[in-house]
A = this chain, B = another copy of it.
């Protein structure tokens, strides 16, 4: 819809600078017009140079994806046009630097060629001001109030002094004036709406805030794309919250430090991506055995191996759920929105502390670095759970001394903290209730059962703490097509199923956030209630589909894609249509 509901994309070579910032300013300005925004970005492989892009979708109600098709495309250079034209709405608007002439532009579209670089370089003598020129032009063309940009400029560059601010405002005005020379032919327009109270955040930022909200006191990490910004945020902010952030020598050290800190009583976390998660495998197994709470955020990127570090994929699920030698209980959670990143992180800490085991958060590059406008987070309503600490008074009556691995009904044993009476050895060898190494056959069976019993509590966690939804069923109880979805793919699934409904297809969604342990009964019920079940995910082996089959013994249709970019809504819609067609066909 041309008023307030469209998709903008900015693309160009990073050597030019400012591509991503242009999009960010746009997103913030649109949000200040009372609109909802949802962004998506891709980076080049190179540090300097190479094509980057940012896409900004704006709407009056929250959306679930950044949109399939680009309505307003802003190209800094010819290569950008060549790359992005395939996603360009033929009835859309192309804004380009008139230093080049875009080829094969659909005749149905509207184009505005402006000499951005020329203006910035010669008129303004401020080559870096180019992005502000573009924003000025945007303001003139689509009616986004110029003052909103001015305000943002002041906030962003205020600290750098009046001169910098003025130079940018000058660039803004120059672009504004230049664009006013065009006669507007296109239908796209921004109309300011009443402001509702919202925040604008990225997925990785939300994880950081979630960790602080949950009481994280030690963070240990090693830089890796696309998780490095979590480390950087923690290095900057954890100290003033009284915590200690650690940049360590590798990911093995990161998880080791997290376990040491947790053992000593601090809530602790690490964040990484695939290669780092793989390196943590041995310690993951140790955390499960020694029953040490910990949180691992895995921001997935395209694999295997070094793969495509700046591209998105959902292919670490196998490693998250099955990685580790021996029988390794753990909890795996997947957020699918920026808001979800916050809450899932809080619940990850809660589950780790409650069940005394490792909890893995599976986010991904697209979710990590997209920004969304979200409802404000009410910290006062958060539920934060601390582990059950051993208290020699309350838990006394045990004449044989403190039993760290006491065989309680839930499998959870109160934990003693260094400094207090109740010393024991956290043990990676199989052990008895006291933690003493013990290799009796029956003991191993009993202790393994104990460790897995905790997963039952994890499954019921959502019932006790209603803020957390391990799964959510959208749509009818029975339908022709059911779609099971997880992680960042859920957004495209929700939009696609809405479109499918409009086409008259009967469709339901099961969105699973707790991937392991799996709510088997629910998943089972969902599968048998649907004529056909689709499971789209961004990996080749159909990892969650495999998990679902393995846990339920029921079949689903896997829709696997590995291109490094999220699903388009239309791809999923197409798959739903096909299944619906099959259902009709076999009737």
A interface residues, Cβ below 8 angstroms from B: 45, 273-275, 277-279, 281-282, 284-286, 288-290, 300, 302-308, 310-311, 313, 315-316, 318-319, 321-328, 428-430, 437, 439, 441-442, 444-445, 448-449, 452, 539-541, 546-547, 549-556, 561-565
Contact = CB atoms under 8 A, between A and B. Distances in A.
Contacts of A561: 445
A553 B549 contact: yes
Contact of A444 (B308, B318, B555): B308
Contact of A304 (B275, B305, B315, B325): B325
Contact of A546 (B304, B316, B428, B550): B550
B281 A305 contact: no
A223 to B, nearest CB: 16
A326 B311 contact: no
Given A318-B322, A319-B281, A540-B452, A327 B304 contact: yes
A296 to B, nearest CB: 13
B318 A305 contact: no
B326 A316 contact: yes
Taken together, the copies of this chain in the complex come to: 2
Contacts of A552: 549
A245 to B, nearest CB: 24
A564 B319 contact: no
A318 B329 CA distance: 12
Given A311-B439, A546-B550, A553-B549, A328 B306 contact: no
Contact of A324 (B311, B319, B442, B445): B319
Nearest to A285: B304
B565 A325 contact: no
B45 A437 contact: yes
Contacts of A437: 45
A305 B326 contact: yes
B303 A285 contact: yes
A300 B326 CA distance: 9
Nearest to A548: B550
B278 A448 contact: no
Given A279-B279, A452-B540, 13 more contacts: A278-B281, A281-B281, A302-B430, A303-B324, A307-B430, A313-B326, A322-B322, A327-B562, A439-B564, A444-B563, A448-B562, A549-B553, A553-B554
A447 B318 CA distance: 20
Contact of A305 (B45, B285, B554): B285
B316 A319 contact: no
A586 B508 CA distance: 35
Contact of A303 (B307, B326, B442, B551): B326
Given A275-B325, A439-B45, A540-B327, A286 B315 contact: no
Contacts of A318: 322-324, 328
Nearest to A325: B274
Contacts of A45: 437, 439
Given A439-B564, A445-B562, A279 B282 contact: yes
A553 B318 CA distance: 17
Q: List the 4 closest pairs (A to B, CB-CB), nearest first.
A: A303-B326, A274-B325, A304-B326, A553-B555
Contact of A274 (B273, B277, B308, B326): B326
Contacts of A275: 282, 285, 325
Given A316-B325, A325-B275, A540-B327, A444 B564 contact: yes
Contact of A289 (B307, B315, B540): B307
Contacts of A319: 281, 322-325
A524 to B, nearest CB: 11
A439 B316 contact: no
Given A308-B439, A555-B553, A285 B278 contact: yes
A224 to B, nearest CB: 11
A201 to B, nearest CB: 26
A584 B275 CA distance: 51
Contacts of A546: 550-551
A286 B236 CA distance: 33
B327 A277 contact: no
A321 to B, nearest CB: 8
A16 B419 CA distance: 43
A321 B285 CA distance: 16
Given A275-B282, A326-B315, A547-B550, A540 B448 contact: yes
A435 B562 CA distance: 19
Contact of A564 (B322, B441, B449, B562): B441
A490 B486 CA distance: 37
Nearest to A441: B563
B326 A302 contact: yes
Contacts of A282: 275, 278-279, 305
Given A274-B325, A452-B540, A286 B305 contact: yes
Contacts of A284: 278
A305 B289 contact: yes
A275 B252 CA distance: 13
Contacts of A285: 274-275, 278, 303-305
Contacts of A556: 553
A569 B284 CA distance: 34
